[in-house]
């Protein structure tokens, strides 16, 4: 059996990349490939349902692995990992989990040291930076392999309302001095709809497992009244995909983005998803104008009134990655 070693992070923290890695290592261990993850930050080797911090076990797995698959965003670390892997005559794959390139020199170096580069979205990347022969475009979405129960207090809140709208974020980050995940846009749109009496008995859930948006959201909600509606902030780790299953609408109001996992999860579960038009979105996504809470409000109302859904065509992107491995050996 051929060994594959992913270099990246496992949850926690919860994010699109960590969830992608966790799902891949649990779903695509098969007869041909044994897949493990080396989490550099935790200094831990994760296998399916097993993990170890034993340095000798980790080193042995590295030495015997035929493919090193890099999922790191840090420019210097991923470059070092790629070069080090080539010194040991490994086949090297790198997944670029963003729709933009911040450091062009490093991006081109990764092509030099890697056998394949996987782009989750190539629409917003300068074509002059891409080596077509080494490039594969594979969205990062992998289906959930488990659903965890939501906390009792959240389940209790869900039962009180007729309509559930949910969104999530990874951390309190800024882009052009504004919240990356657009919680401010969502709250503003929700408030306008509530104030004008256009929605009733609706619960908006803002999920931030890191808890870093707590004060930011507190300031956003200060002095606002939502009538029969309510905004609930969740600052604990929950299985967001389980919440998506119980939502009527999900929102992705990001001001910059890659290939969003939460969008594809909503489509996969046939839940209407409204997202900003900052990048190319999967077919079936309902778009609103970037940084425009009025347009977001109109789209929420449109979806709520029409109850529209989209029959998402599932594509096995994990198998596409396996096919890339096959082509290297």
- Residue 184 resides in a domain: yes
Q: Does one domain contain both 10 and 96?
A: yes
Q: Which residues contact 291 (CB under 8 A, 6 or more apart)?
A: 178, 182, 185, 255, 276
pLDDT at 173 over 80: yes
- Residue 12 resides in a domain: yes
Q: Does one domain contain both 133 and 241?
A: no
pLDDT, tens digit, 9 for 90 and up, residues 75-94: 999 999 999 999 999 999 99
Q: Does one domain contain both 179 and 217?
A: yes
Residue recorded with tokens 């070693």: 5
- Residue 292 resides in a domain: yes
pLDDT at 13 over 90: no
Strand partners, 91: 67
Residue 150 DSSP class: P
pLDDT at 310 over 80: no
Q: Does one domain contain both 66 and 134?
A: yes
| pTM to 2 decimal places | 0.84
- Residue 255 resides in a domain: yes
Q: Does one domain contain both 97 and 124?
A: yes
Q: Does one domain contain both 269 and 288?
A: yes
Q: Could you tell me the two tokens for 5? A: 């070693």
pLDDT, tens digit, 9 for 90 and up, residues 35-64: 999 999 999 999 988 999 999 999 999 999
Q: Does one domain contain both 202 and 60?
A: no
Q: Does one domain contain both 97 and 156?
A: no
Task: Tell me what pLDDT residue 308 has.
Answer: 61
For residues 29 and 1, the answer to whether their CB atoms sit within 8 Å is no
Task: Tell me what pLDDT residue 309 has.
Answer: 60
Count of CB atoms situated within 10 Å of the CB of 308: 11
pLDDT, tens digit, 9 for 90 and up, residues 91-129: 999 999 987 898 999 999 999 999 999 999 888 899 999
Domain with residue 11: its CATH number is 3.40.50.2000
Count of CB atoms situated within 10 Å of the CB of 325: 20
Residue recorded with tokens 């550099």: 40
Tell me the residue range of the domain where 18 lies: 2-143+316-328
For residues 46 and 39, the answer to whether their CB atoms sit within 8 Å is yes
pLDDT at 312 over 80: no
Average pLDDT over residues 122-144: 93
Q: Could you tell me the two tokens for 164? A: 């559930």
Task: Tell me what pLDDT residue 49 has.
Answer: 83
- Residue 260 resides in a domain: yes
Q: Does one domain contain both 157 and 137?
A: no
Number of domain units in the chain: 2
Q: Does one domain contain both 106 and 174?
A: no
- Residue 46 resides in a domain: yes
- Residue 52 resides in a domain: yes
Average pLDDT, the chain: 94
Q: Does one domain contain both 112 and 61?
A: yes
Q: For the chain, where are the alpha helices, taking DSSP H only? A: 16-27, 55-64, 75-87, 104-113, 152-158, 183-195, 214-221, 240-245, 261-268, 293-306, 317-328
- Residue 311 resides in a domain: no
Q: Does one domain contain both 267 and 321?
A: no
């Amino acid at each position: 059996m051929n060994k594959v070693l992913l270099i990246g992070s496992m949850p926690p923290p919860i994010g699109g990349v960590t969830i992608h890695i966790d799902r891949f290592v649990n779903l695509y261990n098969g007869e041909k490939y044994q897949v493990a993850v080396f989490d550099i930050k935790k200094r831990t080797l994760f296998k399916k349902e097993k993990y170890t911090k034993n340095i000798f076990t980790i080193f042995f797995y590295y030495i015997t692995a035929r493919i090193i698959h890099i999922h790191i965003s840090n420019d210097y670390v991923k470059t070092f990992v790629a070069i080090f892997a080539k010194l040991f005559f490994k086949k090297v794959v790198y997944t670029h989990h963003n729709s933009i390139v911040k450091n062009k020199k490093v991006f081109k170096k990764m092509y030099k040291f890697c056998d394949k580069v996987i782009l989750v979205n190539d629409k917003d990347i300068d074509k002059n930076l891409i080596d077509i022969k080494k490039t594969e475009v594979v969205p990062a979405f992998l289906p959930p392999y488990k659903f965890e129960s939501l906390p009792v207090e959240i389940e209790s809140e869900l039962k009180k309302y007729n309509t559930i709208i949910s969104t999530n974020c990874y951390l309190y980050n800024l882009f052009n001095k504004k919240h990356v995940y657009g919680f401010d846009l969502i709250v503003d749109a929700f408030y306008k709809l509530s104030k004008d009496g256009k929605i009733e008995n609706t619960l908006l859930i803002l999920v931030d497992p890191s808890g870093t948006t707590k004060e930011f959201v507190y300031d956003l909600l200060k002095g606002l009244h939502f009538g029969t509606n309510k905004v609930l902030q969740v600052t604990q780790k929950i299985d967001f995909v389980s919440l998506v299953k119980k939502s009527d609408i999900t929102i992705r109001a990001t001001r910059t983005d890659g290939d969003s996992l939460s969008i594809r999860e909503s489509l996969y579960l046939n839940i209407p998803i409204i997202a900003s038009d900052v990048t190319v979105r999967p077919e079936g996504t309902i778009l609103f104008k970037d940084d425009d809470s009025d347009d977001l409000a109109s789209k929420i109302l449109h979806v709520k009134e029409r109850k529209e859904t989209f029959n998402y065509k599932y594509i096995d992107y994990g198998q596409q990655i396996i096919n890339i491995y096959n082509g290297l050996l």
